[in-house]
């Protein structure tokens, strides 16, 4: 698998919005394949070897009401993510890779060699800012299970913590878990504007078909105190 391309430098908010718009246009046209494997950015490829060590994963789609005002947290200042912690999935990993769009305007993903690292889409806000921050990580690659191998253990209400470059930690509570066919990726729901600080953590799931995982698993989470 080719290594993930180096993401461009930090962008002002309007540049991030433009990149997000590019991803939206791509996804509407052909579906956003938000995590990847041996075939490179935008696809999550596995082989028979990977399938033998990483079982097909299916999660139950579930959602709960957003946190009330007493539990909601105000937006944080911009600061890039440095570490991802998801206790219920056994994840405590960093550094966080910076991912942009590749030459085909598909989202970059961690390379196969970076299968134990999460990535932050630099076209989204930083975790904790007002809006939807987007993180991605592999479920498996051709080498076997990867960072989010235990994503099926996540439940609504579970915490996702994101360490930030300014030394702070953005804490999110999972509000919704959704597994969808990649052809039906909910682009506007994932990348659309939101007035609250939110997080989307995306990985792959479902069976392997023609060398690819067929689905995306998306964790939607809200910033909490």
DSSP the chain: -PPPPPPPPP--HHHHHHHHHHHHHHHHHH----S-BTTBTT--B--HHHHHHS--B----EE-PPPPTTTB-PPPPP--EEEEEEGGGTEEE-PPEEE-B-TTS-B----GGGTTS-EEETTSPPTTSSEEEEEE--SEETTEE-TTTTGGG--TT-EEEEEETTS-EEEEEEEEEEEEEGGG--HHHHHS--SSEEEEEEEEEEEEETTEEEEEEEEEEEEB-
Q: How far is CA 100 from the centre of its chain?
A: 13
User: For residue 3, is it within any domain?
Assistant: no
DSSP 40-58: BTT--B--HHHHHHS--B-
User: For residue 22, is it within any domain?
Assistant: yes
Does the structure show a pLDDT above 70 at 119?
yes
User: For residue 111, is it within any domain?
Assistant: yes
Give the integer Cα–Cα distance in Å for 52 and 47.
9
In the chain, the percentage of residues whose pLDDT exceeds 70 is 74
What value does the mean pLDDT take over residues 107-126?
Answer: 94
pLDDT tens digits along 125-140? 999 999 999 999 999 9
User: For residue 8, is it within any domain?
Assistant: no
Supply the pLDDT for residue 46: 34
Supply the pLDDT for residue 143: 87
* pLDDT tier, 6 (very low <50, low <70, confident <90, very high otherwise): very low
User: For residue 214, is it within any domain?
Assistant: yes
Nearest 10 degrees: Cα torsion 30, 128, 78, 70: 140
Supply the pLDDT for residue 170: 98
Supply the pLDDT for residue 86: 98
Supply the pLDDT for residue 32: 36
**Residue 210: left if φ>0, alpha if ψ -120 to 50, beta else—which one?**
left
CA max distance for the chain:
49
User: For residue 77, is it within any domain?
Assistant: yes
User: For residue 5, is it within any domain?
Assistant: no
Does the structure show a pLDDT above 80 at 42?
no
* pLDDT tier, 70 (very low <50, low <70, confident <90, very high otherwise): low
Give the integer Cα–Cα distance in Å for 26 and 154.
29
Number of separate domains in the chain: 1
User: For residue 4, is it within any domain?
Assistant: no
Does the structure show a pLDDT above 80 at 154?
yes
Does the structure show a pLDDT above 50 at 17?
no
Pair of tokens at residue 3: 């290594």
HSE-CB at 18 with a 13 A cutoff on CA atoms is 5
Give the integer Cα–Cα distance in Å for 93 and 161.
11
Supply the pLDDT for residue 210: 83
- Model pTM score: 0.79
188 phi and psi, to 5 degrees?
-65, -35
151 phi and psi, to 5 degrees?
-60, -25
Does the structure show a pLDDT above 50 at 43?
no
CATH number at residue 25: 2.40.260.10
Whole domain around residue 83: which residue ranges? 13-223
* pLDDT tier, 25 (very low <50, low <70, confident <90, very high otherwise): very low
């Amino acid at each position: 698998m080719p290594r993930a391309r180096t993401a461009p430098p930090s962008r002002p908010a309007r540049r991030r919005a433009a990149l997000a718009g590019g991803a939206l246009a791509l996804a509407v046209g052909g579906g956003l394949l938000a995590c990847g494997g041996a075939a490179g950015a935008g696809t999550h490829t596995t082989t028979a070897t990977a399938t033998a060590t990483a079982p097909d994963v299916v999660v139950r789609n579930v959602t709960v009401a957003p946190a009330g005002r007493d539990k909601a947290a105000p937006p944080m200042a911009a600061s890039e993510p440095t570490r991802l912690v998801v206790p219920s999935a056994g994840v405590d990993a960093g550094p966080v890779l910076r991912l942009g769009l590749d030459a085909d305007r598909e989202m970059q993903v961690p390379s196969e060699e970076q299968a134990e690292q999460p990535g932050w889409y630099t076209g989204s806000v930083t975790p904790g800012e007002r809006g939807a921050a987007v993180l991605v990580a592999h479920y498996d690659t051709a080498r076997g299970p990867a960072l989010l191998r235990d994503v099926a253990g996540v439940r609504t209400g579970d915490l996702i913590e994101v360490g930030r470059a300014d030394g702070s930690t953005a804490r999110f509570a999972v509000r919704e878990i959704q597994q969808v066919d990649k052809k039906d990726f909910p682009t506007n729901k994932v990348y659309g504007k939101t007035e609250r600080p939110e997080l989307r953590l995306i990985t792959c799931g479902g069976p392997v078909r023609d060398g690819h995982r067929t689905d995306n698993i998306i964790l939607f989470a809200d910033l909490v105190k």
